[in-house]
């Protein structure tokens, strides 16, 4: 109480009366009650005081010159803060008409004259407290309305006995009606409910009215303008003594945006942002569904693991943007290939998601459920391969994207996701090892192969540390003179546990795992160091060719690391020749030419290895800073008897000489081959006719006997 009185003492009262004596008496009475008082002698002055020094209450005489109390009261109500300020009309008229008019113009209360001065302060204090309570309630309602609007919340109530309904403004807004124009009853509201949800809502509401069940439900609305919405509704029923429903209060909340956000989050969690396909998480859940259905139906299902061949080369040569566009097109074709299959036209009801998934990177998986026979998966595989066979047009480039596909089947290859997926991946890798662009069904032998491959990879990681990798050297011979012209450095691996491992086994593995980059750097360093050692020993200077893999060549630091290596070892760049495969150089001629120019300007010699197996054109070769072409041994092997091999070999020699390039034939093993190559102007030869690759100490013998004719006689 004391707090309220203290608050009252701070209150400012505006006294408006043309009678100065009456104003003085009011001031005395109110100030004794603890109020601050300001005065005005007529209505117009009252308006000015109200604007300049806003009061908390106004005591207004009715009869005044210039502007009477009625006009002043009406004018005050139109001011920015005048609507809620209490106004006590002071009048000598006690008739009903005067009182009615006072309330009509906005008076809060009236005080008849003569005034009881002892009670005036209490009267003002009571009006102020009532006004504050009203404003607090009004502010509370405003905050509640704002909170409900922000929360998209509304409420309604139903007087059951009178069948009288009330909907809040928030409820009207949710239901799509203008304020104050909500549906008159529950039946009208029920008509807005989606037809598929209407019966369920009606039954639950009826059960709540019987006291059988709590009313709490989420359902769909179709608003008057046709817009679909999702709402959550709760209601509490009050019962009379006869257990009859008497009153129902309900709350209605618009969940549309929340559900849309949840759906978006769900989509992001389960679908790939690039291709729009279901992702790995969705794949795991759908396989779980499909396996349960397969166990019940006793029907097989199949998993296909699809990996795009040579996708990294496309990414590296044309950029990730082009790679992403290609992946989207691949995803579309995979989906189309599976949709057109009769095998998946009858999907399992428990797993309605599309059967194609992006597993990650350039890997996709396909789930084929409800198969009749295990081999039916082959039909879909053929459709996929056929769909991918046609060219892709991406950013003005004509691209071809083949795939290696691994197939595993439940129940013969496993009965859980982990096993089936592992086996499908193993089958896919085996398909790649067979030359790509093919498919493989999983067999138990693939597990053994996969384990062997992992063991070999682990041992290859340790091979450099344990000194198991060595460089062997094979002499390169001048065809006409038979003298030593140089050597090719070839990698050999003698494992402490596996024995001698063929390069055909470990080089592709090193390429695939990325180990080829550190191994290639080691080989370059070892070759440069060996050449400097030979020079330091006073041996003749020859060039040594070192093979550079595609991954090593595309490595951005190759030019710089090679420059640093030559400076470190002191080797003249002309003594080093880099051999690159035709496919590596031709993957993106413009981009690769920049690297080749950098290496050529350094003084390093450049040659294309295994020439004739790729798709080089004369115009492409002319713009590259090359020194030599090496004829692939597959052509040399059938010389001179095979007409096609002879024609190709002669064409390569003529083309190379026309471009000013030297020609090297590898794999020469017979005198007849040598004679043919010598007759037709091949510049250099190498092969077992002269010597297999040998360790560096044994290669010194060729420096002592530079005419390699003795080697041929010795070997014969």
Band the pLDDT of 45: cuts 50, 70, 90. very high
- Supply the pLDDT for residue 617: 52
List, for residues 518-530, the tens digit of each pLDDT value. 888 889 999 999 9
Closest CA to 475 of 632, 319, 699: 699
Which DSSP state fits 347?
Answer: -
Domain assignment present for residue 186? The answer is yes
Environment class of residue 620 by beta-carbon count within 10 Å: exposed (0-12), middle (13-18) or buried (19+)? middle
Q: Rounded CA gap, 404 and 427, in Å?
A: 9
Residue 311 is part of a domain; what is its CATH number?
3.30.70.270
**Is the pLDDT score of 4 beyond 50?**
no
Grouping H, G, I as helix, E, B as strand and the rest as coil, residue 600 is helix
Which DSSP state fits 278?
Answer: B
Residues 224 and 318 in one domain: no
Token digits of residue 297: 């139906």
- Supply the pLDDT for residue 514: 78
List, for residues 647-679, the tens digit of each pLDDT value. 888 988 988 888 889 999 999 999 999 999 999
- Supply the pLDDT for residue 712: 53
Band the pLDDT of 16: cuts 50, 70, 90. very high
Domain assignment present for residue 634? The answer is no
Average confidence (pLDDT) over 157-186: 78
Identify the domain boundary among 231, 260, 289. 260
Average confidence (pLDDT) over 468-484: 91
Domain assignment present for residue 546? The answer is yes
Which has more pLDDT, 593 or 129?
129
List, for residues 488-506, the tens digit of each pLDDT value. 999 999 888 888 888 888 8
Identify the domain boundary among 202, 229, 260. 260
Environment class of residue 7 by beta-carbon count within 10 Å: exposed (0-12), middle (13-18) or buried (19+)? middle
Report which secondary-structure segment, H or E, holds 596.
helix 589-602
Q: Rounded CA gap, 632 and 634, in Å?
A: 5
Instruction: Please tell me the least confidently modeled range out of 170-179, 284-293, 496-505, 582-591.
Output: 582-591
Closest CA to 458 of 487, 424, 498: 498
- Supply the pLDDT for residue 150: 63
Band the pLDDT of 161: cuts 50, 70, 90. confident
Closest CA to 509 of 497, 493, 522: 493
Grouping H, G, I as helix, E, B as strand and the rest as coil, residue 26 is helix
Residues 437 and 484 in one domain: no
Domain assignment present for residue 685? The answer is no
**Is the pLDDT score of 78 beyond 50?**
yes
- Supply the pLDDT for residue 223: 84
- Supply the pLDDT for residue 328: 92
- Residue 510's domain comprises 462-622+692-715
Band the pLDDT of 599: cuts 50, 70, 90. confident
Residues 350 and 491 in one domain: no
Residues 508 and 605 in one domain: yes
Token digits of residue 703: 């420096």
Q: Rounded CA gap, 607 and 545, in Å?
A: 9
Average confidence (pLDDT) over 344-363: 65
Domain assignment present for residue 656? The answer is no
Residue 526 is part of a domain; what is its CATH number?
3.20.20.450
List, for residues 178-201, the tens digit of each pLDDT value. 766 676 666 777 788 899 998 998
Domain assignment present for residue 576? The answer is yes
Identify the domain boundary among 99, 128, 147. 147
Q: Domain total for the chain?
A: 4
Residues 165 and 72 in one domain: no
Q: Give yes or no for a contact between 547 and 609, defined as CB atoms under 8 angstroms apart.
A: yes
List, for residues 202-218, the tens digit of each pLDDT value. 899 889 888 888 889 99
Q: Give yes or no for a contact between 331 and 276, defined as CB atoms under 8 angstroms apart.
A: yes
* Helical axes 589-602 vs 558-569, angle rounded to 10°: 10
- Supply the pLDDT for residue 683: 94
Residue 139 is part of a domain; what is its CATH number?
3.40.50.2300
Domain assignment present for residue 543? The answer is yes
List, for residues 364-423, the tens digit of each pLDDT value. 999 998 887 777 788 888 889 888 888 898 888 888 888 999 999 888 888 899 989 988
Verdict on whether the full-model pTM lies above 0.85: no
Residues 143 and 158 in one domain: no
Average confidence (pLDDT) over 546-563: 80
Residue 232 is part of a domain; what is its CATH number?
3.30.450.20
Residues 373 and 467 in one domain: no
Band the pLDDT of 341: cuts 50, 70, 90. very low
Average confidence (pLDDT) over 615-626: 66
Residues 91 and 186 in one domain: no
Residues 142 and 159 in one domain: no
Average confidence (pLDDT) over 411-439: 87
Residues 126 and 94 in one domain: yes
- Supply the pLDDT for residue 351: 43
**Is the pLDDT score of 340 beyond 70?**
no
Residues 469 and 617 in one domain: yes
Rg, the chain, Cα only: 47
Domain assignment present for residue 697? The answer is yes
Residues 292 and 338 in one domain: yes
Band the pLDDT of 13: cuts 50, 70, 90. very high
Which has more pLDDT, 104 or 622?
104
- Supply the pLDDT for residue 349: 43
pLDDT over 70, % of the chain: 88
């Amino acid at each position: 109480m004391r707090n309220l009185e203290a608050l009252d003492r701070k209150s400012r009262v505006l006294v408006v009366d043309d009678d100065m004596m009456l104003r003085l008496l009011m001031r005395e009475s109110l100030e004794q009650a603890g109020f601050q008082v300001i005065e005005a002698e007529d209505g117009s002055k009252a308006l000015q005081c109200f604007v300049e020094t806003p009061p908390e209450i106004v005591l207004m005489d009715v009869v005044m010159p210039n502007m009477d109390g009625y006009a002043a009261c009406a004018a005050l109500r139109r001011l920015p803060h005048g609507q809620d300020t209490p106004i006590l009309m002071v009048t000598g008229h006690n008739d009903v008409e005067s009182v009615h008019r006072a309330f009509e113009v906005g008076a809060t209360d009236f005080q008849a004259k003569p005034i009881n001065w002892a009670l005036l302060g209490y009267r003002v204090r009571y009006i102020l407290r009532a006004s504050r309570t009203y404003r607090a309630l009004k502010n509370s309602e405003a905050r509640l309305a704002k909170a409900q609007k922000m929360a998209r919340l509304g409420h309604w109530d139903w007087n059951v006995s009178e069948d009288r309904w009330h909907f809040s403004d928030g409820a009207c807004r949710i239901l799509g009606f203008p304020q104050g124009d909500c549906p008159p009853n529950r039946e009208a509201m029920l008509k807005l409910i989606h037809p598929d949800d209407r019966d369920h809502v009606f039954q639950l509401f009826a059960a709540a009215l019987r006291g059988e069940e709590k009313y709490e439900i989420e359902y769909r609305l179709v608003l008057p303008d046709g817009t679909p919405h999702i709402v959550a509704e709760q209601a509490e029923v009050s019962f009379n003594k006869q257990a009859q429903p008497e009153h129902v209060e309900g709350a209605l909340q618009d969940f549309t945006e929340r559900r849309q956000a949840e759906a978006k989050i769900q989509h992001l969690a389960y679908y790939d942002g690039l291709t729009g396909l279901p992702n790995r998480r969705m794949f795991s859940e759908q396989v779980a569904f499909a396996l349960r259905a397969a166990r019940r139906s006793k029907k097989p299902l199949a998993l296909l693991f699809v990996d795009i061949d040579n996708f990294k080369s496309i990414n590296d040569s044309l950029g990730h943007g082009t790679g992403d566009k290609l992946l989207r097109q691949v995803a579309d074709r995979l989906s189309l290939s599976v949709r057109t299959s009769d095998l998946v036209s009858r999907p399992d009801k428990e797993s309605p998601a599309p059967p194609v998934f992006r597993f990650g990177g350039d890997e996709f998986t396909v789930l084929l459920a409800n198969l009749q026979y295990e081999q039916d998966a082959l039909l879909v595989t053929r459709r996929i391969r056929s769909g991918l066979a046609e060219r892709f047009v991406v950013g003005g480039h004509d691209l071809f994207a083949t795939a290696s596909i691994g197939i595993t089947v439940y129940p013969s290859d496993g009965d859980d996701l982990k096993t089936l997926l592992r086996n499908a991946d193993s089958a896919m890798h085996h398909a790649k090892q067979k030359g790509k662009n093919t498919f493989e069904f999983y067999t138990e032998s693939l597990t053994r192969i996969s384990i062997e491959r992992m063991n070999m990879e682990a041992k290859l990681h340790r091979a450099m540390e344990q000194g198991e990798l060595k460089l062997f050297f094979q002499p390169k011979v001048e065809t006409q003179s038979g003298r030593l012209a140089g050597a090719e450095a070839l990698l050999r691996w003698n494992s402490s546990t596996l024995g001698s491992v063929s390069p055909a086994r470990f080089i592709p593995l090193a390429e695939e795992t990325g180990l080829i980059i550190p191994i290639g750097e080691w080989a370059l360093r070892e070759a440069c160091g060996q050449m400097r050692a030979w020079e330091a020993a006073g041996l003749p200077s020859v060039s040594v060719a070192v093979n550079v893999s595609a991954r090593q060549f595309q490595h951005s630091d190759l030019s710089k690391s090679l420059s640093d290596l030559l400076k470190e070892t002191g080797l003249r760049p002309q003594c080093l020749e880099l051999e690159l495969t035709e496919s590596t150089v031709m993957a993106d001629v413009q981009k690769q030419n920049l690297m080749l120019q950098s290496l050529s300007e350094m003084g390093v010699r450049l040659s294309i290895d295994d020439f004739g197996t790729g798709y080089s054109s004369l115009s492409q070769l002319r713009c590259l800073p090359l020194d030599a072409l090496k004829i692939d041994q597959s052509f040399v092997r059938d010389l001179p008897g095979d007409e096609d091999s002879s024609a190709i070999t002669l064409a390569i020699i003529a083309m190379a000489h026309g471009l000013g390039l030297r020609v090297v034939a590898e794999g020469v093993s017979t005198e007849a081959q040598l004679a043919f190559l010598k007759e037709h102007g091949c510049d250099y030869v190498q092969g077992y006719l002269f010597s297999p690759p040998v360790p560096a100490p044994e290669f010194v013998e060729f420096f002592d006997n530079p005419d390699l004719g003795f080697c041929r006689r010795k070997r014969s």
